[in-house]
């Protein structure tokens, strides 16, 4: 099979599109022929060598995608050859074929395309647990979403609105502000426009109830934009590592810092199916809209990585074998 691989950590130039051996499935796995593969910032971190990565060189990136079952292991039940499936947390998805443990298989309804599944699963399930578990969004909560035009950002905006929140989005350009507003943000502020001051102005100097911060380097400013007793949810470092947080500040302001990682939530087949089913239902009912993805051929993985790192992308980036 063909796969996007790399032998050393570095920039997009380390990626190569090569012929390698097909994966051999175990008795509790299925072999999936990939139709669409999601690209995420975690893939950038892994390529650079500063994020956990499984296996040995040559490494294969990717944890998310959708396709059709080609083979099934001896112990597999309830899944047949030809079934449409997806997954959000299986390594080595940047390939034509992927071995998927049966407990991580998510059945894909006919109403959800391969492209939508690969666009929404990892980022959508992230937005789902952030708004349901990390901080349960309530009616009339005021919510600040960093990178509101990004893949997770647009979904966070939509789900927070669905749950009754009032959303302020942060973006880096007028074009991205338009995308955040289209996703449903009540107001959008540019990072270049003294965004902390603007947030306080919009909230009558009170601050927001919760900040969803995927940038990292903005963590200190996120706390400054949060009301007394509010919360900051830290779930990414797209802009660099955060500064250390002084626990005395948390004590004196009664603010909460919560970390978020999807892998601590998707702990069972039941969790995967239940959460993805709700996500799919929201899409089917038109409550959540998946923005048009940017699509690259898998062989053009270098270009896709360059595009994601350029900060010019809005919404999801997909790779197709």
Confidence band, pLDDT 50/70/90 cuts, at residue 163: very high
The predicted-structure confidence for 121-150, as pLDDT tens digits, reads as follows 999 999 999 999 999 999 999 999 999 998
Global model pTM greater than 0.85: yes
Q: What is the pLDDT of residue 145?
A: 98
Residue spans per domain, the chain: 2-120+263-320, 139-259
Q: What is the pLDDT of residue 2?
A: 98
Q: What is the pLDDT of residue 283?
A: 96
Contacts of 22 (CB under 8 A, 6+ apart): 1, 31, 97
Confidence band, pLDDT 50/70/90 cuts, at residue 151: confident
What is the strand order of the sheet 59-60 is part of? 16-19, 2-6, 59-60
Percent of the chain, pLDDT > 70? 100
Q: What b/e sequence results for 226-255 when a residue is b if at least 16 CB atoms lie within 10 Å of its CB, and e otherwise?
A: bbeebbbbbbbbbbeebeeeeeeeeeebeb
Contacts of 107 (CB under 8 A, 6+ apart): 79, 83, 84, 85, 273
| 2-120+263-320 and 139-259 agree in CATH topology | no
Architecture of domain 2-120+263-320: Alpha-Beta Complex (3.90)
Residue 202 has pLDDT above 90, yes or no: yes
Angle between helices 151-162 and 114-129 (to 10 degrees): 60
Rg value, the chain, Cα: 20
φ and ψ of 42, to 5 deg: -60, -30
The predicted-structure confidence for 240-278, as pLDDT tens digits, reads as follows 889 999 999 999 999 999 999 888 999 999 999 999 999
Find which of 53-62, 225-234, 256-265 is predicted with most confidence, using mean pLDDT: 225-234
Q: Name the residue among 201, 198, 232 with its Cα closest to residue 216.
A: 232
Q: What is the pLDDT of residue 22?
A: 97
Q: What is the mean pLDDT of the chain?
A: 95
- Which CATH code of 3.40.50.300, 3.30.300.30, 3.40.50.720, 1.10.20.60 fits the domain covering 139-259? 3.40.50.720
């Amino acid at each position: 099979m063909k796969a996007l691989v790399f032998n050393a950590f570095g920039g997009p130039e380390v990626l190569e599109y090569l012929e390698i051996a097909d994966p051999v499935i175990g008795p509790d796995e299925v072999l999936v022929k990939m139709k669409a593969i999601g690209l995420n910032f975690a893939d950038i971190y892994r390529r650079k060598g500063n994020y956990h990565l499984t296996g040995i060189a040559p490494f294969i990136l990717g944890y998310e995608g959708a396709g059709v079952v080609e083979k099934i292991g001896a112990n597999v039940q309830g899944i047949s050859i030809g079934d449409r499936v997806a997954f959000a947390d299986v390594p080595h998805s940047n390939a034509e074929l992927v071995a998927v443990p049966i407990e991580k298989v998510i059945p894909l309804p006919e109403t959800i395309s391969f492209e939508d599944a690969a666009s929404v699963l990892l980022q959508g399930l992230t937005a789902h647990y952030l708004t349901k578990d990390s901080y349960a969004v309530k009616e009339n909560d005021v919510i600040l979403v960093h990178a509101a035009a990004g893949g997770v950002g647009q979904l966070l905006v939509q789900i927070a609105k669905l749950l009754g929140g009032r959303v302020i989005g942060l973006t880096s350009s007028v074009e991205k502000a338009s995308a955040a507003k289209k996703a449903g943000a009540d107001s959008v502020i540019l990072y270049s426009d003294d965004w902390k001051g603007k947030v306080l102005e919009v909230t009558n100097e009170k601050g927001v109830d919760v900040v969803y911060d995927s940038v990292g380097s903005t963590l200190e400013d996120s706390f400054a934009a949060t009301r007394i007793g509010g919360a900051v949810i830290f779930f990414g470092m797209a802009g660099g590592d955060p500064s250390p947080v002084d626990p005395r500040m948390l004590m004196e302001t009664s603010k909460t810092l919560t970390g978020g990682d999807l892998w601590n939530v998707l702990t069972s087949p039941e969790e995967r199916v239940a959460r993805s089913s709700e996500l799919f239902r929201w899409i089917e009912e038109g409550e959540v809209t998946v923005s048009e993805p940017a699509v690259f051929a898998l062989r053009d993985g270098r270009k896709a990585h360059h595009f994601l790192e350029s900060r010019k992308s809005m919404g999801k980036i997909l790779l197709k074998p």
